[in-house]
Amino acid sequence: MSSLQQVNPRVRGIRASPHRFLQRLSADIQRHITQGVQKPFQEVIDISSGDPQYAGMKPISFVRQVLAVCLLPDLLHDENLPLDARLRAQRLLQCCDGESVGSYTASAGLCLVQQTIAEFITRRDAGVPSYSSNIYIPSGSQRALMVVIKLLARGDGEMRTGVLMPLPCPHTLPMLLDEAGVKLVPYHLREDRGWAVDLDELKAALKMAGGRCEPRAIYISNPGNPTGHVQDRNSIEKVIQFAEDERLFLLVDEVYQDSVFEQDREFISYKRVLFEMGPEYSETVELASFHSLSNSIMGECGLRAGYVELVNVDPAVMLFAETLLCIDISTPVTGQLALELMVNPPKLGDLSYNTYMQEVLFNQATLTENAQRLWESLNGLPGMSCQPAMGGIYVYPRLNMPPGMVDQAEMLGMEPDVLYCQRLLEEEGVLVGAGCENGQEDRNYHLRLCVLVPSPTLQEAVKRLTSFHLRLLARFPQ
């Protein structure tokens, strides 16, 4: 039994890795197709993961042009590349030791990139200052989260550090916290309110943890992963007040901040709200905010870079954080440079500005249209219901499983939603995520579908899923 299940026995399946099982099955099926085995489909469509370029989305041209020049400086004189891309590459190379991406950097990251990130945060937060000395650049937001969790982890048994965690949550989070040696304290998001964070659920989770661990932090995903919920200012203020009252460290995953598409919602950072609440909170509440190259419109998952900004953290602890980051020596330089390009893109008047904006707006439009179409399609299926996503890159529908299939899954020793995903993959060649890996209550089933994929890909996936779902209901009548 997992540490999370020990705190809350209602939660099931969260330590299992159905995604790995389904990925292996998907690879086997695709290999069989390549070998000439006849299937009712020609290829497997994977809409389970948050890897846009794997799914077929194109990289941003400016990023690849600048990185190409950084990797091959001879291209500085290649007039086939935009001048502003070559000049940016030259500036970035000058900040690298030996003017080469093959050199080490400081463990916290390149100074120029730290400063550029701080300037981006200050602009984003309407002038709330950010300082480069509070910025760390690890190899992705998950690594950054691990470092901060290790800073918080201490004690054993009833004194062991606990972290409040939402359900549903990112599917990698439980394993990460388990590896860090902390106890997971789940709080439930309100599906009936579009997966909103609920203060009563936070208080209930804290009470349930009493005598089992020492809660020291609360993790928030905003925009939500995998729910797509985007918190408004009032909701953020309530969470900050809760963290202040209970002396909890705020761990805020904001990696989808550029992926908000609900018309009446906008992304507001926790740091901005914290400082606009006044000194009572801005000088006391400890906060770590995470962003990443991977989980954004840019979608550069393979470059492995992200950042964390630490707020109101003791200077001695900041030094220890840098020591922990030193274990990795330094984040890949190409990832750091791409991070600089993400937070400091071409500006109006630059040669690359129009192309850059066209590509970004195309990705945002694809995300918005896919989310709307998928929501309409899923809600049109019997036995399926879906809250509208406001942001992020996933849609997370509820699956009303036929009792006969639930019984069959139990006979096979499987989670019913994993069996659903397995059969969908085998019969239609569509790979989706099972809700049990995101954490859910017993007899409460969901699917996770990524919508930052090319529109034709999603349309074909929905067509196949619909066919399978209707056959399933005919096979297992209610």
Same structural domain, 304 and 375: no
Same structural domain, 368 and 322: no
Same structural domain, 32 and 144: no
Q: Taking residues 64-88, what's their average pLDDT?
A: 97
Q: pLDDT (tens digit, 9 = 90+) per residue, 151-191?
A: 888 888 778 999 999 999 998 888 888 888 899 999 999 99
Within 8 A by CB and 6+ apart from 164, the residues are 185, 186, 187, 202, 205, 206, 209, 215, 217, 218, 219, 248
Q: Residue 78 falls within a domain, yes or no?
A: no
Same structural domain, 427 and 302: no
pLDDT the model gives residue 456: 96
pLDDT exceeds 50 at position 4: no
Q: What are phi and psi of 20, to 5 degrees?
A: -65, -40
Structure tokens at 191: 């599906």
- DSSP code of 388? P
Q: Residue 87 falls within a domain, yes or no?
A: no
Q: Please state, in angstroms and rounded to a whole number, the distance separating the CA atoms of residues 72 and 66.
A: 10
pLDDT the model gives residue 325: 66
Q: pLDDT (tens digit, 9 = 90+) per residue, 104-155?
A: 888 888 999 999 999 999 999 999 999 999 999 988 888 889 889 988 888 8
Q: Report which listed range, 161-170, 173-182, 308-317, 437-446, is most confident.
A: 161-170
Same structural domain, 127 and 216: yes
pLDDT exceeds 70 at position 68: yes
Distance from chain centroid for Cα 301: 11
Q: pLDDT (tens digit, 9 = 90+) per residue, 211-250?
A: 889 999 999 999 999 999 999 999 999 999 999 999 999 9
pLDDT the model gives residue 78: 96
pLDDT the model gives residue 478: 66
State the chain's mean pLDDT as an integer: 91
The rounded percent of the chain whose pLDDT value lies above 90 is: 73
* Confidence at 12, pLDDT banded by 50, 70, 90: very low
Same structural domain, 202 and 157: yes
* Parent domain of 20: 3-57+357-475
Q: Taking residues 376-386, what's their average pLDDT?
A: 95
Same structural domain, 236 and 326: yes
Q: Residue 274 falls within a domain, yes or no?
A: yes
Q: Taking residues 28-32, what's their average pLDDT?
A: 93
Would the CA dihedral through 269, 254, 48, 177 be positive or negative?
A: negative
Q: Taking residues 21-37, what's their average pLDDT?
A: 92
Q: Taking residues 429-454, what's their average pLDDT?
A: 89
Nearest to 136 by CA among 272, 285, 330: 330
* Confidence at 290, pLDDT banded by 50, 70, 90: very high
Q: Please state, in angstroms and rounded to a whole number, the distance separating the CA atoms of residues 115 and 125.
A: 15
Same structural domain, 302 and 379: no
Asked if 107 and 329 touch (Cβ cutoff 8 Å), the reply is yes
Would the CA dihedral through 123, 128, 132, 135 be positive or negative?
A: negative
In total, how many domains does the chain have? 2
Same structural domain, 170 and 222: yes
Q: Please state, in angstroms and rounded to a whole number, the distance separating the CA atoms of residues 68 and 178.
A: 39
Asked if 20 and 172 touch (Cβ cutoff 8 Å), the reply is no
Q: Residue 64 falls within a domain, yes or no?
A: no
* Confidence at 77, pLDDT banded by 50, 70, 90: very high
Q: Residue 70 falls within a domain, yes or no?
A: no
pLDDT exceeds 80 at position 389: yes
CATH of residue 450: 3.90.1150.10
Q: What are phi and psi of 243, to 5 degrees?
A: -65, -40
pLDDT the model gives residue 9: 37
Q: Residue 43 falls within a domain, yes or no?
A: yes
pLDDT exceeds 90 at position 258: yes
pLDDT exceeds 80 at position 327: no
Asked if 452 and 366 touch (Cβ cutoff 8 Å), the reply is yes
Long-range contacts: 181-184, Cβ < 8 Å, 24+? 181/153, 182/149, 182/152, 182/153, 182/213, 183/3, 183/4, 183/6, 183/7, 183/209, 183/212, 183/213, 184/2, 184/3, 184/4, 184/7
Higher pLDDT, 273 or 144: 273
Antiparallel, parallel or unpaired: β 430-431 and 249-253: unpaired
Determine the residue type at 335. G
